Amino acid sequence: MGHDASDKLIKSLCKLTFLPIFGTLCAKEQSTKDITMIRRVIPFAVLLGIASCSGAAVNGPAGGSGTETGTDDGTTETSTIPDTLAVNLKSVSFDGTNLQVTIDSLDSTPVSVTYLRDSRLDLSGYTAFRMQEDALDRLFVALGAVSTDGSVQAVTVGDGGQFNTYFAGGAYDRSGTFDRPTGDGTAGSGQVSYAGSYVAVTNMGAPRDGGADDVALPITAGTDTSLTPRQPVRVQGDIFLNANFSDNSINGAIYNRQLVDTNYALVDVILVPGTINDDGTFEGVAEYDTRAPIGTYGGIFGGTDAHSVAGLVHLTEFDTTIDNEQEHGVFVLTQCGPDNTLPVCTNVASP
């Protein structure tokens, strides 16, 4: 078969075949990016299709905003979180062990739903939860963490998509007020660094292969695939932030990124300089290293001398070879110093 004929066949397969790696996802054409699937045994033809196809897109966002207020019973309010980060999430109550979520919409009843703890989906210090009422209902996955000093927390939640739409969003919160590092003129006292793990959920469907982290409820054989809800593919990586509390500025990067459920390597994300507000919250723009904007980030500092930081990232694109992909990430980090001795922290001045 000639090269042109092969291309035509691959494109036809993309239009007609349900790809178990990313649901109905086909990638944009590419020739230089290798795709490695270590944990899953994926047929070569499917890998070839992902590397070369164009066409079908992942499920799109449902829209919505996080402006609705919740209760005063300890629930984190997303009304103070930018709409671009809260998205469909209205409120969340999280103590590190238990999680209650109010999201718009279609996760379960009543409006505020208690999600089930599921350690099979835990990632890099982030606790995982899920909610799926029955096999043909949406499957939501949440990932969250509380800082080591208990001052801040953050959660991201989303489903993998069903009926051309997905719902997702995040929330962060602080216990107590903002304690700004004043700085004494010595290195590391006014400009500090934070480092740790980053995780996320996406609007891409994970393989339904019966593996240890395939948590979707089983569907009866013969059920039409158009009804199948998708388990969101997760992302993990590392994140590093520099914050200057005299300039009220913050920036950083997310690196070593990969799609966990397929071991597909992702490019770095640059968090360009954003502004730290008087209340210890901050916002900024996320970009590729080519300076093309691809989303937003934000968060909140907490603890003595801003010991900890929690935040969210919402990317409306994260891979140039894929169409309509979105990512909802979360980070909860400790300031580099005596309480955070990760290798990357050895390169920075300690307070």
Tell me: do 39 and 145 sit in the same domain: no
Gyration radius of the chain's alpha carbons: 21
For residue 56, give Cα distances in angstroms to 15, 23, 61, 153. 7, 10, 15, 37
Residues in the chain with pLDDT < 50? 1-57, 65-79
Domain with 189 in it: what CATH number? 2.40.160.90
pTM for this entry: 0.79
Examine residue 58 and state whether it is found in any structural domain, yes or no.
no
Burial class (CB in 10 A: 0-12, 13-18, 19+), 35: middle
CA distance 200 to 151: 21
User: Is the backbone of residue 222 left (phi > 0), alpha (psi -120 to 50) or beta?
Assistant: left
Q: What is the pLDDT of residue 323?
A: 87
Tell me: do 204 and 331 sit in the same domain: yes
CA distance 50 to 205: 14
Examine residue 26 and state whether it is found in any structural domain, yes or no.
yes
Q: What is the pLDDT of residue 39?
A: 30
Tell me: do 47 and 83 sit in the same domain: no
Which one-letter amino acid corresponds to residue 146? V
Examine residue 40 and state whether it is found in any structural domain, yes or no.
yes
Q: What is the pLDDT of residue 193?
A: 96
CA distance 234 to 215: 13
Tell me: do 122 and 232 sit in the same domain: yes
Contact status, residue 294 vs residue 268, Cβ threshold 8 Å: no
Tell me: do 13 and 139 sit in the same domain: no
Tell me: do 105 and 26 sit in the same domain: no
Tell me: do 38 and 185 sit in the same domain: no
Provide the domain limits for residue 330.
Answer: 67-347
Tell me: do 177 and 233 sit in the same domain: yes
For residue 179, give Cα distances in angstroms to 20, 123, 333. 48, 29, 16
Q: What is the pLDDT of residue 159?
A: 94
Q: What is the largest CA-CA distance in the chain?
A: 71
Examine residue 57 and state whether it is found in any structural domain, yes or no.
no
Examine residue 28 and state whether it is found in any structural domain, yes or no.
yes
CA distance 19 to 247: 49
Tell me: do 29 and 143 sit in the same domain: no
Q: What is the pLDDT of residue 105?
A: 65
Structural domain count of the chain: 2
DSSP string spanning 325-348? --EEEEEEEEESBTTB--GGGGGS
Examine residue 101 and state whether it is found in any structural domain, yes or no.
yes
Examine residue 156 and state whether it is found in any structural domain, yes or no.
yes
Tell me: do 155 and 43 sit in the same domain: no
Q: What is the pLDDT of residue 109?
A: 58
* 233 CB-side CA count, 13 A: 27
Tell me: do 139 and 210 sit in the same domain: yes
CA-based nearest residue to 312, from 182, 144, 102 = 144
CA distance 103 to 141: 12
Tell me: do 17 and 108 sit in the same domain: no
